[in-house]
Chain A
Amino acid sequence: MIEISKLNKYYKVGKSKMHALKDIDLTIKDGESLAIQGKSGAGKSTLMHIMGLLDSYDSGSLKIDGQEIKGLRDGKLAAIRNQKIGFVMQDFSLLDHKNVIMNVMLPLYFNHKYSFNKMNKLALEALERVGIKEQANKKANQLSGGQRQRVAIARAIISEPEIILADEPTGALDSETSVEIMNLLKELNEKNGITLIVITHDDSVADYCKRKIIIKDGCIVE
């Protein structure tokens, strides 16, 4: 469960400060699917980065599974990111020059629990779940946009995370492929109970989630 209360984030713009997120209060229960919508610059990506422990916040509280995030060291934050959160990004964020299986097993490299053989096995299983097992040995840059996003999803689920944070997951895809990707994410949410948080400005994408919120000027308005 993610609990956010009175969270504020400021950015320095030259000598002045920009208030990017204003007193955000938000609770996301386990297994929930949530779409965060808003116009460009509204603060939705900032909120996603904070929830994904990629960015810090200035005041307020963020708890993941009851653990307060403020004050945790980089190593601990990395461990939470590694074990509890999977990311699906608009630009896929793949190592283009490496093969698919290497990309998928990447999070396991940073978790000492897994042996190399186990990593390989889990990566193939994850690729099977997203339907591109046969592409395992191809380089990431040899795949289509839809296939690359599937690789990103396989990588996001390989650690069996509690949360998937998807930042404009269909932003670089055509409409047909977008439907496939959103169906896949929805299936992971419904069948596997993974909490799904989707950042999007596209209503049709947001419709795949059971709950929607809109951010405007750094505040949750709906």
Chain B
Amino acid sequence: MKKLNLFIMSFSQNIISSIIMLIILSFALISMQDVIGQYRYITYSRYIIENQYLQNSDYFMINPEIMMVPDPNEQLKQSNSIKEKISKFDGVEGVAVAQHSKASYRSTTINTEIYNDSMQKAFSKELSEGVWFEQADKSDIPNVVIGGAVFNDIPIGSDIEIEMLDKNENLVQQKVHVIGKIGYPWYAVSYSTISNDVSTKDFLIQVNTIIFDDDKQTSEILSKYDSFQSLSFSYFVIYNKECTDEQKEAVRDYYNSVGTYETYDQILENTNDYIRDNLMKKIVTPIFLLIIATLTLISIATLNTYKKLKDHSIYYLCGCSRKKSFAYLFVEISIVAILATIINIIYVSVIMSRLSAGTMSYAGSIIDYKNIIYSMIYCIVTIVITVILPFIVYKKNTPLEVYRRNHND
């Protein structure tokens, strides 16, 4: 208490400059966290997409104009016909597609999907716990992989009941068996993007998801639900190992007649371009702010040390050791960086807890405990850098020298 009082007494002299520094530093750190979050998201999406199975693939996107028919059944027919044609080309191993539907769990709307084999092979990296369908035992209850805040507390191996609409549009309870979990940040694969500049960041969506297998047994169980749609506007087309360039050319010619496509390599290149062009531009401002804030912090700390030398020579006269005296100075110097880091940790923790509770979506970014570690590393580095100059000043000016200097003045 006494020590705190002495610290407050000394610190109160720099209160305005410290508050200004705290605001700048906190703002810079929070901006930095956002950019880091975005960078982590895009590298995570690249990690998900970057796999051997997709290496020999193209991302096909249907021309939206072709799909502009008023009758939904006609639309479905059209898309299925294109998909089947693509699948039948020589050299094509499979088309990674999913059928989508909506369901409800604990009064929350969730996304349900049926993954075909290619889809499972292409995106098997997503699981943080459990296994995919081919490694799991079958039972009367359909196996599912879950992901999202609403399933956070559901352990692997448990059975849960979801509500789905049957053909008469009545809500029906469906029991499912959990065999795998998509971990935080709960991004599931989505093919919602149609553009000529597709990058890996466009393939993920942060949503509560239940994934079903595309096997016969599950299909039978799910057939009573009318809601699953196999309408696919875009998907990965996977070529087999023996596929020749000519065969690929033939498929691509077809793509061009009904839509457009991006090769797998192009997608990765677009991703790297996005990181370079977009994220690097975004990171300039927070880095600039952080550097300015840190340099200002060093200057203020050094000036304050000079200003406080007389006070500390009086502390020494009154029986405070040099070590203790510097400890007081150290706390004064580092308090701004520590407080800014605490604010930053609170910011990250609030986002994390809201994400966990499902009360917030932070799409396009990954914020987790690693962001707290980054904040702490920044804090330690800043304190070390900020303390060096004041330490040299303090070491060079012994209390006796300060006293003699003041005495001669």
Q: How large, as a class, is the contact surface on chain B?
A: 20 to 34
B221 at the interface (CB under 8 A from A): no
A155 at the interface (CB under 8 A from B): yes
Pick from B26-34, B242-250, B321-329, B333-341 the stretch touching chain A: B321-329
B318 at the interface (CB under 8 A from A): yes
B319 near A82 (CB under 8 angstroms)? yes
Which residues of chain B in 53-68 are interfacial with respect to chain A, using CB atoms and an 8 Å cutoff? Answer: none
A110 near B400 (CB under 8 angstroms)? no
A67 at the interface (CB under 8 A from B): no
B318 near A98 (CB under 8 angstroms)? no
A192 at the interface (CB under 8 A from B): no
A93 near B314 (CB under 8 angstroms)? yes
Q: Which residues of the other chain, B, contact A91 by a CB distance below 8 angstroms? A: 406-407
Known: A54-B399, A94-B314. A81 touches B322 (CB 8 A): no
Q: Which residues of the other chain, A, contact B324 by a CB distance below 8 angstroms? A: 75, 78, 110
Q: Which residues of the other chain, B, contact A87 by a CB distance below 8 angstroms? A: 317-318
Which residues of chain A in 86-102 are interfacial with respect to chain B, using CB atoms and an 8 Å cutoff? Answer: 87, 89-91, 93-95, 97-98, 102
Q: Which residues of the other chain, B, contact A55 by a CB distance below 8 angstroms? A: 400
A111 at the interface (CB under 8 A from B): yes
CB nearest to B6 among chain A residues: A109
Q: How large, as a class, is the contact surface on chain A?
A: 20 to 34
| Per-residue interface assignment for chain A, residues 25 to 53, with 1 indicating a CB less than 8 Å from any chain B CB and 0 otherwise | 00000000000000000000000010000
B320 near A78 (CB under 8 angstroms)? yes
Q: Which residues of the other chain, B, contact A159 by a CB distance below 8 angstroms? A: 319
A155 near B318 (CB under 8 angstroms)? yes
| Per-residue interface assignment for chain A, residues 103 to 132, with 1 indicating a CB less than 8 Å from any chain B CB and 0 otherwise | 000110111001110010000000000000
B396 at the interface (CB under 8 A from A): no
Residue in A54, A78, A81, A119 whose CB lies within 8 Å of B2: A119
Q: Which residues of the other chain, B, contact A111 by a CB distance below 8 angstroms? A: 319
B316 at the interface (CB under 8 A from A): yes
B406 near A110 (CB under 8 angstroms)? no
Instruction: Give bound CA distance, A90 to B320, whole Å.
Output: 20
Q: Which residues of the other chain, A, contact B139 by a CB distance below 8 angstroms? A: none
B2 near A79 (CB under 8 angstroms)? no
B5 at the interface (CB under 8 A from A): yes
Q: Which residues of the other chain, B, contact A83 by a CB distance below 8 angstroms? A: 319
Chain B contacts to A: CB under 8 angstroms:
1-3, 5-6, 9, 13, 311, 313-324, 399-400, 403, 406-407
Chain A contacts to B: CB under 8 angstroms:
49, 54-55, 74-75, 77-79, 81-83, 87, 89-91, 93-95, 97-98, 102, 106-107, 109-111, 114-116, 119, 155, 159
